[in-house]
Amino acid sequence: MISTSDFGKGTRILMEGQPFVIIEVSMQTASGRASNTLVKFKARNLLTGKLTSEAVKNGSKFDEPDLRYGNVQYLFSEAENAVFMDQESYEQFNLSLEVIGEQTRYLSEDVKIRAMYFNGTPVSIEFPSHVPIKVSSVEPADRGNTASGQIMTRAELENGTECQVPTHVKSGDTILIATEDHSFYQRVQ
């Protein structure tokens, strides 16, 4: 059991049978003599991604969710699902491409992916902060655009997406892309 006094950013709790991660916590002290201190918090549902705001009495207790993380490998996509293999048990499982969202563009056999299991069932995946992707083509740089201090040009990547890259990046190079915002991180040597 987790008490509200243990709450902090990143604490995982179980509410109404669903796992949540706490994003923000604040205490509101009551002004009356018989009043209790309230703990207000914002939490994200780990299954749906939706945010919720709650206010509970200080000292309230919550169950810990049965969460486990494990390394998985992407195998292939079929229809509306991506197929993964657990690296420990070698069991295969499907996840909806809708659950993965925009990050489906980073699915590749050589990317190390972590899966989150809730009650023994895989419910989501986490990508590393940076993934390597090969550059297919690079537009010629506009040399007059030096106001920002770094000249950037548009590049098409092997996975069909586009990204702004520095002019020293050439077609055929492998670069690291930040998965959080799909921005150029660095060129792989």
Write the pLDDT tens digit of every residue in 118-174.
Answer: 999 898 888 899 999 999 999 887 666 555 567 888 999 998 899 999 888 899 999
pLDDT digits (tens, 9 = 90+) for 23-70: 999 988 876 665 678 899 999 888 887 899 999 988 899 999 999 999
User: Is pLDDT of 85 > 70?
Assistant: yes
- What does the pLDDT read at residue 146? 58
Cβ(35)–Cβ(26) under 8 Å?
no
Residue type, 117: Y
Report the C-alpha gap between 165 and 151 in whole angstroms.
8
- Token pair 């930040």 is found at 178
Which among 36, 62, 88 is the end of a domain? 62
Q: What is the CATH number of the domain that holds 150?
A: 2.40.50.140
What is the spatial distance between Cα 47 and Cα 64, in angstroms, rounded to a whole number? Answer: 15
pLDDT reading at 178 higher than 70 = yes
94 and 144 fall within a common domain: no
Among the three residues 126, 142, 175, which one is the final residue of a domain in this structure?
126
| 115 closest CA partner among 70, 74, 67 | 70
Q: Give the 3-state secondary structure of residue 6.
A: helix
Both 90 and 50 in one domain: the answer is no
Closest to 23 in 3D by CA, of 42, 4, 45, 7: 42
* pLDDT score, position 140: 83
The pair of structure tokens assigned to 103 is 């990050």
The enclosing H or E element of 97 equals helix 97-100
Same domain? For 119 and 144 the reply is no
Which residue has tokens 């809730």? 118
Same domain? For 43 and 58 the reply is yes
- State pTM to two decimals: 0.72
Mean pLDDT of 103-125: 88
Residues 71 and 43 in one domain: no
> Are residues 116 and 150 located together in one domain of the fold?
no
- Whether the Cβ atoms of residue 158 and residue 171 lie closer than 8 Å to each other: no
Check whether residue 37 and residue 50 sit in a common domain: yes
75 and 35 inside one domain: no
Decide if 131 contacts 111 (C-beta within 8 A).
yes
Same-domain pairing of 171 and 135: yes
Tally of structural domains, the chain: 3
pLDDT of residue 64: 93
Are residues 40 and 103 in contact, defined by beta-carbon separation less than 8 angstroms? Answer: no
* 152 in the same domain as 121: no
Residue 149: domain span = 130-187
Q: Which of 98, 126, 154 is the last residue of a domain?
A: 126
Q: CA-to-CA distance for 86 and 74, rounded, in angstroms?
A: 9
pLDDT of residue 143: 62
What element of type H or E holds 98? helix 97-100
Q: Where residue 7 sits, what CATH number does that domain have?
A: 2.30.30.30
- What is the per-residue pLDDT for 144? 60
Together in a domain, 121 and 78:
yes
